[in-house]
Amino acid sequence: MKNFTVWFRVGMDFKETIEAEDVSDAQRRLVLRVEDYFPDYVGQIEDCPSIKATHIYDIVEGES
């Protein structure tokens, strides 16, 4: 597995390092992590379509 640094927004900006096989796996794992670690927050933003989805800005291999 490789490390990918992911910059994303779910109502506010975040940066996470994800261990994954490739970029698409990192993207999938990030969405699952957001759902697992921020369930209350994600529940609050579900009613607001403008910030409902996780918006991923960039994914790079390796830590930055």
Q: pLDDT for 10-41, tens place per residue?
A: 766 778 888 999 999 998 998 888 878 776 65
Query: Cβ neighbours of residue 39 under 8 Å, at least 6 residues apart?
Result: none
Q: Is 47 exposed, middle or buried (0-12, 13-18, 19+ CB in 10 A)?
A: exposed
What is the CB neighbour count within 10 angstroms for residue 34? 17
Whether 15 and 5 have beta carbons less than 8 Å apart is answered as: yes
3 pairs with which residues across the strands? 19
> How many other CB atoms are found less than 10 A from the CB of residue 54?
19
Q: Which residue has the higher pLDDT, 27 or 47?
A: 27
Number of domains in the chain: 1
User: Does 5 score more than 90 pLDDT?
Assistant: no
The mean pLDDT of 32-51, rounded to a whole number, is 66
* Domain span holding position 57: 2-61
**Average per-residue pLDDT in the chain?**
76
Which of residues 52 and 58 earns the better pLDDT score? 58
pLDDT of residue 1: 86
